Chain A
Amino acid sequence: MKPCDSIKQRFVELYAVWRREFRIVLGDVGVMVFFFGLPVLYPVVYTLIYNPEVARDIPVAVVDNCRTAGSREFVRMADAAEAISITGYAADLNEARRWMNEKACYGIMVIPEEYSRKIGRGEQAVIPFYVEMSLLLRYRAFLTALTDLSIAAGVQIRQLEGLPSVSPVGNAAIFLGDPTQGFASFVIPGILVLILQQSLILGITMLGGGVAERRRLYGGRDPLAVKAPAAITVMGKSLCYFTLYIPLIIYILVFIPRMFSLPHYGSVTDVLLFIVPLVFASIFMGMALQRFVRERESSMIMFVFTSVIFLFLSGLTWPRYAMSPLWLWVGDAIPSTWGIEGFVRINSNGAALRQSVQPYLALWFLAIAYFILATASKWMEENRKMK
């Protein structure tokens, strides 16, 4: 009889915490900005920034010292490449450099005087190409375009000279995950997971700051707190945030990739199943971090910058195989690291959940670990209050 009653009592408390937290969140504009405004707007804003996908028509200046039909034909072929747009002919390298300094071009192609003569003699012609290196995406676009250009020009010249096609072996490149090789298609799926985690952490730590402020105001106890054991409080609150996030998860992870035609090869069920532990791990991590926030607004100072750090730790921009063990360990402790890895594999590579077991289990492990931390921290805070 007794244990049964006490279990019932716990459920009543759980429900009370859940309901109270709902009222607190919905009545707090600051938290609503991070819980709803951020997850709704950021995916759209980020995708709009990167949606042009590739660097097209990058201005290139030509210094044509050869000035023959052959050299002009080569320039026309270059201009036809997707990445390159010929802005004009410069008289010499100095003039072209001046254009580059003025940002009127980001590449300079120099056709040497003996270009046509060499081609005519059946010798190899070398064409220097100067690349401005401020952005690696531009460099990458040039690199691909120039490789293709040199092959295409070779084919044309051999045809002109009546030489047979010379390639005993064909080669075919197939791009997986992001077949368009676009930047948005690559980066947005990962960013989506990070947005989910960071909006939870920011909102929850802000709520924690609110609790601390109310405590200070009312002499050590929060009038809005429901009386319940620490573990029940943590669980009840986390269920409240999870309930609030269900529509957002569907919007961010299912709707956004379809709306912007980003890769979405995985099964929706797998995506949703996979993301549950990520959401719980992020919630509990946020609750464990509440300790460090004594004031609502300081949560932004403390945690906004972590988005950049977590992005790098996740291995999205800098692959994990190139990290030192220290950063691997730190990254392992962050839910987004596993969340991004698993979600990108499911979403972009079409992996099944069973192929993402490692990140999935790691996320559950983190969820449990952060739950214990959050509960312990809550318990310690309450006991300090008693003194």
Chain B
Amino acid sequence: MGTVGFWNTVKRGIRQLACRRIYVVAMVIVPVGSALFFLDLLDEGLPLGVPVAVVDLDDSPMSRDVIRSLDAMDVVDIGVEAASYTEAYDLTRRGEIFGFFMIPDDFGKEAVSGRKPTISYYCNMAGYIPGTLSFKGFKTVAVSTSGKMVETVLVSTGMDESGADAVLQPVVIQEHLIGNPWSNYAIYLGNSFIPGVVALMTMLVAAYSIGDEIKCGSSRQWLETARGSIAVAVAGKLFPQAVVFSVIGIFCQSLLYGYMHFPLNGSPLLVVTAMVLLVVASQAFALIFCCIIPNLRLSLSIVSLLGILSFSITGFSFPVQNMYGAVGIFSYIIPLRYYFLIYVDQALNGIPLYYSRWYFAALLTFPVVAMSLLWNLKRACIRSVYVP
């Protein structure tokens, strides 16, 4: 008996989805379009070639040598040679460069005579990634300039090169980057923002389709189709959406791990399961607000506002562990957080499923919580009056 009601509601749900253009846009065009956008935008992985300037006040063979080695670096691209600090600063303020490298007056002379001149470099951190990259390039060149001079002196006094290295840098820390040895930005932005858009659209469509029944006064008919059971009505309505979004989500994953070859060091099956669970948990998350406030306008507004905040509070960019405790705790009510943690464990690091068990469990908790609130939605469905 329940199954007949379920399939009738599913049919009704599919008819509604197919009839309105907005659903096609929200369910297919937006998530797929966003995924293609991100992958094409971040294609390079690292935005190398940061536009920078050099200010060479010395203009000696030695200073030109330093600039040549800066020019040889991939990270920076010396577009202009500024005549003065003021000019370079002006270029920074105009946004034409993200940093500049300054060699002082009499640099060559002072370096040779041991008066320790200072190379200074300015990085515009108002652009975080280019600022950081230019810093990396500048610092490497500044330190190695110093190193090369010492090495020349030491080797000329008869020390071999490895001995000279040891004097220069007695301790070397060798970084091993687990999972993303290229420190590729696209891997981390793509893996967090693309599922984020899928989750956002899933929540919005779920909240919209449920709220719309109440707004249009068709909620009684909806309940009747499900033979009076709100659980069947909700399940029947959300099931077709879940199928569409899961397919879209898995397609996005295939773009990430298949087409782009981003690291997938664990079982693909677990990653796919996580996507399906993310879709279901996101629907449940929206459903919870529909149950608490059975009003299309308000519940959809709340879901929109939280949905867009979830990109920040989930901690893709800034670690949750470093947020204020009272703020960071909210990341744990967002389904996307658990998907992200599963992705890190199962795709990036490829560690045993055991370590991700709680994240899977947490994703399953959302539907359970939503189920326990359905009575309020049912009450609203029965009482629904059409308010234009």
Q: Does A268 contact B (CB under 8 A)?
A: no
Q: A169-B118, A304-B308 are in contact. List 7 more A-B contacts (CB 8 A).
A: A38-B305, A147-B139, A149-B173, A175-B131, A176-B99, A187-B128, A318-B189
In the complex, chain B residues whose CB is within 8 Å of the CB of A237: none
Q: Does A186 contact B (CB under 8 A)?
A: yes
Q: Which of A49, A143, A149, A174 contacts B312 (CB 8 A)?
A: A49
Indicate if the CB atoms of A127 and B171 lie closer than 8 Å: yes
Write the chain A residue with the least CB distance to B187: A133
Indicate if the CB atoms of A355 and B30 lie closer than 8 Å: no
Stretch at the interface among A61-69, A238-246, A345-353: A345-353
Indicate if the CB atoms of B126 and A263 lie closer than 8 Å: yes
Q: Does B260 contact A (CB under 8 A)?
A: no
Q: A147-B139, A327-B41, A341-B95 are in contact. Are A308 and B318 (CB under 8 A)?
A: no
Instruction: Give bound CA distance, A25 to B307, whole Å.
Output: 25
Q: Does B319 contact A (CB under 8 A)?
A: yes
In the complex, chain B residues whose CB is within 8 Å of the CB of A127: 171-174
6 closest pairs, A vs B, by CB?
A: A177-B126, A322-B47, A171-B142, A351-B93, A178-B125, A170-B118
Write the chain A residue with the least CB distance to B352: A101
In the complex, chain B residues whose CB is within 8 Å of the CB of A304: 200, 204, 304, 307-308
Q: Which of A129, A139, A170, A178 contacts B174 (CB 8 A)?
A: A129
Q: How far is the CB of A71 from chain B (nearest CB, A)?
A: 11
Indicate if the CB atoms of B171 and A171 lie closer than 8 Å: no
Instruction: Give bound CA distance, A135 to B344, whole Å.
Output: 9
Q: Does A167 contact B (CB under 8 A)?
A: yes
Indicate if the CB atoms of B150 and A131 lie closer than 8 Å: no
Indicate if the CB atoms of A169 and B149 lie closer than 8 Å: yes
Q: A131-B176, A213-B388, A355-B90 are in contact. Are A138 and B319 (CB under 8 A)?
A: yes
A314-328 at interface with B (beta carbon < 8 Å):
315-319, 321-324, 326-327
B128-172 at interface with A (beta carbon < 8 Å):
128-132, 135, 138-139, 142-143, 145-146, 149-150, 162-163, 165-172
Q: Does A269 contact B (CB under 8 A)?
A: no
Q: A137-B317, A169-B119 are in contact. Are A132 and B93 (CB under 8 A)?
A: no
Max chain B Cβ within 10 angstroms of own Cβ: one of A298, A305, A327? A305
Q: Does B296 contact A (CB under 8 A)?
A: yes
In the complex, chain A residues whose CB is within 8 Å of the CB of B5: none
Q: A49-B323, A127-B173, A297-B211 are in contact. Are A166 and B168 (CB under 8 A)?
A: yes
Q: How far is the CB of A39 from chain B (nearest CB, A)?
A: 12
Write the chain A residue with the least CB distance to B130: A319
Indicate if the CB atoms of B116 and A170 lie closer than 8 Å: yes
Indicate if the CB atoms of B38 and A140 lie closer than 8 Å: no
Q: Does B368 contact A (CB under 8 A)?
A: no
A254-276 at interface with B (beta carbon < 8 Å):
263
Indicate if the CB atoms of B327 and A48 lie closer than 8 Å: yes
Q: Does B233 contact A (CB under 8 A)?
A: no
Q: Does A378 contact B (CB under 8 A)?
A: no
Instruction: Give bound CA distance, A344 to B49, whole Å.
Output: 21
Q: Does A172 contact B (CB under 8 A)?
A: yes
Q: Does A12 contact B (CB under 8 A)?
A: no
Indicate if the CB atoms of B124 and A153 lie closer than 8 Å: no
Instruction: Give bound CA distance, A316 to B185, whole Å.
Output: 14
Indicate if the CB atoms of A125 and B118 lie closer than 8 Å: no
Q: Which of A30, A101, A124, A315 contacts B165 (CB 8 A)?
A: A124
Q: How far is the CB of A239 from chain B (nearest CB, A)?
A: 26
Indicate if the CB atoms of B131 and A125 lie closer than 8 Å: no
A43-74 at interface with B (beta carbon < 8 Å):
45-46, 48-52, 54-56, 58, 74
Q: How far is the CB of B354 from chain A (nearest CB, A)?
A: 8
Max chain A Cβ within 10 angstroms of own Cβ: one of B25, B125, B135, B163? B125
Indicate if the CB atoms of A130 and B178 lie closer than 8 Å: yes
Indicate if the CB atoms of A166 and B174 lie closer than 8 Å: no
In the complex, chain A residues whose CB is within 8 Å of the CB of B175: 129, 131, 142-143, 146
Total number of residue pairs linking A and B with CB closer than 8 Å: 320
Indicate if the CB atoms of B119 and A168 lie closer than 8 Å: no
Chain B 181-192 near chain A by CB (<8 Å), digits 1 or 0: 001010011000
Q: Does B51 contact A (CB under 8 A)?
A: yes
Q: Does B40 contact A (CB under 8 A)?
A: yes
In the complex, chain B residues whose CB is within 8 Å of the CB of A326: 40
Q: Does B315 contact A (CB under 8 A)?
A: yes
Q: Does B114 contact A (CB under 8 A)?
A: yes
Chain B 105-123 near chain A by CB (<8 Å), digits 1 or 0: 0000001001011111111
B345-381 at interface with A (beta carbon < 8 Å):
345, 348-349, 351-352, 355
Indicate if the CB atoms of B26 and A130 lie closer than 8 Å: no
Q: A167-B116, A168-B111 are in contact. Are A176 and B171 (CB under 8 A)?
A: no
Q: Which of A157, A168, A181, A327 contacts B150 (CB 8 A)?
A: A168
Q: Does A102 contact B (CB under 8 A)?
A: yes
In the complex, chain B residues whose CB is within 8 Å of the CB of A101: 345, 349, 351-352, 355
Q: A134-B348, A319-B50 are in contact. Are A172 and B118 (CB under 8 A)?
A: yes
In the complex, chain A residues whose CB is within 8 Å of the CB of B332: none
Indicate if the CB atoms of B139 and A173 lie closer than 8 Å: yes
Q: Does B257 contact A (CB under 8 A)?
A: no
Indicate if the CB atoms of A168 and B351 lie closer than 8 Å: no
Q: How far is the CB of B296 from chain A (nearest CB, A)?
A: 6
Indicate if the CB atoms of A305 and B178 lie closer than 8 Å: no
A192-238 at interface with B (beta carbon < 8 Å):
213, 217
A144-182 at interface with B (beta carbon < 8 Å):
146-147, 149-150, 153-154, 157-158, 163, 166-179, 181
Chain B 301-323 near chain A by CB (<8 Å), digits 1 or 0: 10011011101110111110111
